[in-house]
Amino acid sequence: MSVLLLAEVNNGHLVVDAVAKALSALAPLGDGIDVLVMVGEGDSAARQAARLDGVRRVLLAQGDMLAHGLAEPAAALIASLAAGYTHIAAPATACFRNILPRAAALLDVMVITDVIAIRDAATFDRPVYAGNAVQTVVSDDPIRLLTIRTSVFHAVGEEKGEAAPIEAVPTVPDPQLSTWVEDSTVVSERPELTSARVVVSGGRGVGSRERFGDIVKLADRIGAAVGASRAAVDLGYAPNDWQVGQTGKVVAPDLYFAVGISGAIQHLAGMKDSRVIVAINKDADAPIFRVADYALVGDLFSIVPELTAKL
Amino acid sequence: MKILVPVKRVIDYNVKVRVRMDGSGVDLANVRMSLNPFDEIAVEEAVRLKERGIASEVIVVSIGVAQARDVLRTALAMGADRAILIEATVDVNHDIEPLAVAKILARIVRQESPDLVIAGKQAIDNDMNATGQMLAGLLGWGQATFASALQIVDGNAIVTREVDGGLQTIRVRLPAVMTADLRLNEPRYVSLPNIMKAKKKPLEEHALASLGIDASPRLKVVRTVEPPQRGAGARVASVDELIEKLKNEAGVI
C-alpha cells in the first residue's frame, strides 16, 4: 500500500486537527503515508505536517495558483502525482469535496466520499440518505480516491523523534480556467466547529438574531463552538458557516447542546454521532428528543441564561 | 446563452428511509419520489437567467429509470424549455454512479454545446457530491461548486461559494460547470397551468446502449445497514439536574 494524504491548509497554516484525524483513519492501510501540502508560498504548513505521527514524507507544492484552493490546478497536480500510489485521500472538507472528484475524473476512477471506516484496502463504509443508512462498498479501481469524514476518528499525536523529510514537488501548468477574487471569512475567537469538544447550537425556536446572543453567551461561557440549524441560518439568526447538518458541517463533539432545534433528519445527519446530546425544547414531541441523552422540556429563554449562570 | 441542468429523481426528502433487513439496500417500493432538492435550485437559477434575458434556452437532462420523466416534467413546468431522458436502467434500486453520469452528461454537452451547466451540489440519496466536479474534469472546463450567488459578466461567471469559514468569490471562464448550494435561491412552486403546458414541451428519450458509454459500476455495494441506534435518553426536570447529570453521570463537563 502506498498512500497520499492531501493536507487541509488555511492561510498557509496546516489545519492540524483535520489532517491528524485523517492520518489515524488511514493507518490501517499501511506503514507510511505521504502528505501533500499545496500552498501559495512558505513551508510552515509542511513543517507542521512533518511532525505528525505516521507521516513518511511531506511533498510540498508551492505556487500562486495553489494559494486559494482552486480545483483546476490542484486536481491536475494530484493527477500528475497519482502513479506511485494505491490510495489518495483527503479530509472531507469543502476544499477537497471540490477538488477530489475532479481529480478522480481525470484519472478515470470513482471517488468514495465521506468514508467513516476503512475495512481493507478495497472496502469502505460511507453514510447515505442523510446518515439514515451505512453502505459498505468495494472498489475495483486501480487507485482509490477517498474523502474521510474526520469527525468519527481520533487525531494522531506528534512524532517524538525526527520530523519526516520535506521534498518539493514540481507544479503543473495552471489551466487558467478560474481565478480567485476574494474571501469573506467569518472571524472567530471560538473553537473551530468541526473540531470543538463542545458545541452549542440554536434553531428556529431561538426566535431572533438578538436572542441568538444568548446561545453565543452560553457557548463562550463554556468554551464551546456555536452551531445553528438551517432554519436559524435562513432566518438570519446566524451566519451560514455555523450550519450543522447534511448540507452544512458534520460534527461529533463530546457534548452537543441542541437549543430550540426540532431535529429534522437533515440536521440529525450533521450531529447524531456526538457522544452526549442535550436537547432543550418547549415541544415535548420534538424529534430531537429521540436522539437526546438528556432532554429538558421548557422555555429556552429562561433555561439558557440559567444554564449560563450556573455552569 | 444555453444552459444545461442535470436533474435526478430521488426519494422525497420528507420520507423516513427504511433499510431492508437483509442488508440489500433501502426500501424504494411504494415510496414517494421527487426532484432532488438541490436540482430544483439549479433549475430555478437557470430559469431566472432566462427570465432576465441572459439565457436563451434551458435544457434539463435526467439519467436513470423511465419514471424520471416525472421529474423532467416538473423541471419543464418550472420553466425549462426541453428535456432529455437517458434510460440507463429498468431497476429503481440501481443507482448510476457519478462517474458514469458525468460521462453520459459529457456526451450530451458535446452534442448540445451549452455555455453553462448548473447541477445540484449533491443528491440526497447517495450523498456523493461528485458529479458536477467530475463532469468539469472530463470536459476540461472550469468549475464553481457550492454556489450561493451567480453573476454573468463578459463571458465569465462570477460565483460566490460556500466554503468552510465563510464565503469565497471566484471568476470562472465560460463554458463552465456550476453546482448549486441551498442558499442560491428559493425555487418556485409549479402552477397547474404550467404543469399542463409542460406536457406539450419536447422530451427526447434515448437508451443508454445507443450512446456506447461504459456505465458499469466501479464500486460494488456489498451491504447496506441501519446506522447504530442511540439508546433512549432521560428526561431531566431542571437545569440543576441537567448540570448534575452532565457532571457526574456523563462526565462531559
Contact across the interface for A265 and B16, Cβ inside 8 Å: yes
Domain spans, chain B:
2-250
Co-location of A229 and A152 in the same domain? no
pLDDT attached to residue A186: 76
Measured over all CA atoms, what is the biggest interatomic distance in chain A, rounded to whole angstroms?
Answer: 60
Contact across the interface for B137 and A222, Cβ inside 8 Å: no
Q: Please tell me the pTM assigned to this model.
A: 0.96
Boundary (domain end) residue, out of A152, A168, A184: A168
Co-location of A93 and A142 in the same domain? yes
Contact across the interface for B230 and A293, Cβ inside 8 Å: yes
3-state helix, strand, coil in chain A (%, to 5): 30, 30, 35
Q: What is the pLDDT of residues A208-232, one digit of tens each?
A: 999 999 999 999 999 999 999 999 9
* Facing residue for A129 by CB, picked from B125, B183, B238: B125
Co-location of A129 and A213 in the same domain? no
Question: Taking the domain B2-250, which CATH number applies?
Answer: 3.40.50.620
Q: What is the pLDDT of residues A84-125, one digit of tens each?
A: 999 999 999 999 999 999 999 999 999 999 999 999 999 999
As for the ipTM of the complex, it is: 0.96
Structural domain that includes position A89 = 3-168
pLDDT attached to residue A65: 94
Q: What is the pLDDT of residues B71-122, one digit of tens each?
A: 999 999 999 999 999 999 999 999 999 999 999 999 999 999 999 999 999 9
Co-location of A197 and A110 in the same domain? no
pLDDT attached to residue A171: 87
Contact across the interface for B226 and A133, Cβ inside 8 Å: yes
Provide mean pLDDT across the span B28-38: 95
pLDDT attached to residue A1: 87
Residue in chain B closest to A139 (alpha carbons) equals B219
Chain A residues within an 8 Å CB radius of B218: 109-110, 139-141
Q: A94: domain CATH number?
A: 3.40.50.620
Confidence of residue B235 (pLDDT cuts 50, 70, 90): very high
How are beta strands A144-148 and A87-91 bridged, if at all? parallel
Residue in chain A closest to B137 (alpha carbons) equals A102
- C-alpha A155/C-alpha A104 separation (Å) is 26
Co-location of A215 and A261 in the same domain? yes
Residue A189 has pLDDT above 90, yes or no: no
* Alpha-carbon distance B54 to nearest alpha carbon in chain A (angstroms): 21
Residue in chain A closest to B174 (alpha carbons) equals A177
Q: What is the pLDDT of residues A139-185, one digit of tens each?
A: 999 999 999 999 999 999 987 788 999 999 998 999 999 999 999 98
Residue B52 has pLDDT above 80, yes or no: yes
Is A178 within the bounds of a domain? no
Boundary (domain end) residue, out of A168, A183, A207: A168
pLDDT attached to residue B70: 97
- C-alpha A90/C-alpha A109 separation (Å) is 16
How are beta strands A294-297 and B2-6 bridged, if at all? unpaired
Residue B230 has pLDDT above 90, yes or no: no
Residue B194 has pLDDT above 90, yes or no: yes
Q: What is the pLDDT of residues A27-60, one digit of tens each?
A: 999 878 999 999 999 999 999 999 999 999 999 9
| Residue recorded with cell 497519482 | A82
Confidence of residue B229 (pLDDT cuts 50, 70, 90): confident
Task: Count how many domains chain A has.
Answer: 2
Q: In what order do the strands lie in the sheet with A111-115?
A: A111-115, A144-148, A87-91, A3-6, A33-39, A55-62, A166-168
Residue B40 burial (10 A CB sphere; 0-12, 13-18, 19+): buried
Co-location of A62 and A152 in the same domain? yes
Co-location of A146 and A16 in the same domain? yes
- Mean pLDDT, rounded, of chain B: 96
pLDDT attached to residue B165: 85
Contact across the interface for B148 and A240, Cβ inside 8 Å: yes
Provide mean pLDDT across the span A63-72: 96
